[in-house]
């Protein structure tokens, strides 16, 4: 017999207003994957669901099975991530994380490891001094989890170890290429060995390892970090049908808080 009510941990990925008082939420759940649900009355100031239905919030919720959309009936907040919502830079990076989970997953397809990856990355993002590294660490782990991890050490076609600096990276083929197979690719982009090394390192540490991220920040230049950002954006965008919105948000926020050079 199918249960009509169930309880599960969730993270709010997206929200849309419905009528005057309700919300439709896209949730990443632990046991049931991504799903859409209605939170009735959540827009009312006195609603007990108001806090738990904010973006990025990690809660344990009770849902009733509905005909088209399940309905949130109770919620208990686990992590409000107020520290993220109070900082525009952290909001931008959290928006990218939740957008990626939304875009790379199908409805009702459980990914428990991805759920906890998102929760731990948001917890790290709330505290870190290096939001970009936390985000890139999250991206590398997410891509590996969904089967799109980029080849950053050896040729994506033949497996030959890469020594060229920079090496050609093919978004279409999902990795770097050796000289023998460079001609088989269409558009490529240069990827320095430092950028490739940073990507590989991030795949082997947790987003919550602030000590490891601090060490990486001290030993990698802004140029290397920007190189990994460009590589990952191109790699992910090739695999998605529609452009991502959050990278533009991150660039706008970064420009807003970056002082002009030479007084200009």
Q: How far is CA 194 from CA 175, 228, 230, in A?
A: 15, 9, 14
Rounded mean pLDDT for each run of 10 residues along the chain, 264 residues in total: 84 96 98 97 94 98 94 98 97 99 97 98 97 98 98 97 96 95 88 98 96 96 97 97 94 86 52
122 token code pair: 């948001």
Contact 27, 11 (CB under 8 A): yes
What is residue 1's predicted lDDT score, i.e. its pLDDT? 43
Distances (CA, A) of 56 to 11, 52, 175, 208, 220: 6, 9, 31, 17, 29
What is the DSSP track for 144-180? HHTT---B-SB-TTT-PBP--SSEEEETTTTEE--GG
Residues 130 and 76: their CA atoms lie apart, in Å, by 30
pLDDT at 69: 95
* Domains present along the chain, CATH in parentheses: 5-80 (2.40.50.140), 83-263 (1.20.1440.120)
Q: Which two tokens stand for residue 242?
A: 């529609």
CB 135 within 8 A of CB 125: yes
**Residue 261 pLDDT:** 58
Burial class (CB in 10 A: 0-12, 13-18, 19+), 258: exposed
- The model's pTM is 0.94
Per the CB < 8 A criterion, the answer to whether 161 and 119 are in contact is: no
- Alpha-carbon distance of 16 to 32, in angstroms, equals 21
Longest dimension (CA), the chain: 70
| Cα distance between residue 47 and residue 62, in whole Å | 15
Amino acid 264: pLDDT:
45
């Amino acid at each position: 017999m199918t249960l009509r009510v169930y309880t599960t941990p969730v993270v709010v990925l997206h929200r849309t207003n419905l009528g005057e008082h309700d919300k439709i939420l896209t949730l990443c759940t632990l046991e049931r994957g991504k799903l859409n649900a209605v939170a009735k009355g959540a827009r009312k100031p006195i609603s007990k669901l108001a806090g738990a239905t904010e973006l990025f919030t990690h809660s344990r919720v009770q849902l009733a099975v509905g005909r088209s959309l399940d309905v949130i009936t109770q919620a208990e907040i686990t992590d409000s991530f107020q520290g993220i919502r109070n900082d525009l830079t952290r909001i931008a990076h959290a928006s990218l994380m939740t957008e990626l989970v939304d875009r790379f997953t199908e409805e009702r397809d459980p990914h428990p490891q991805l759920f906890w990856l998102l929760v731990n990355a948001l917890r790290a993002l709330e505290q870190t001094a290096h939001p970009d590294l936390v985000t890139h660490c999250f991206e590398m782990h997410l891509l590996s989890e969904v089967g799109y991890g980029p080849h950053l050490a050896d040729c994506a076609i033949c497996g030959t170890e890469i020594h060229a600096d920079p090496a050609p990276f093919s978004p279409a083929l999902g990795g770097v290429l050796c000289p023998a197979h460079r001609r088989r690719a269409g558009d490529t982009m240069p990827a320095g060995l430092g950028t490739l090394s940073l990507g590989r390192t991030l795949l082997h540490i947790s987003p919550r390892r602030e000590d490891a991220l601090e060490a990486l920040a001290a030993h990698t230049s802004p140029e290397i970090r920007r190189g990994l950002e460009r590589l990952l954006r191109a790699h992910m965008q090739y695999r998605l049908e529609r452009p991502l919105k959050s990278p533009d948000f991150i660039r706008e926020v970064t420009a807003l808080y970056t002082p002009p050079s030479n007084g200009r």
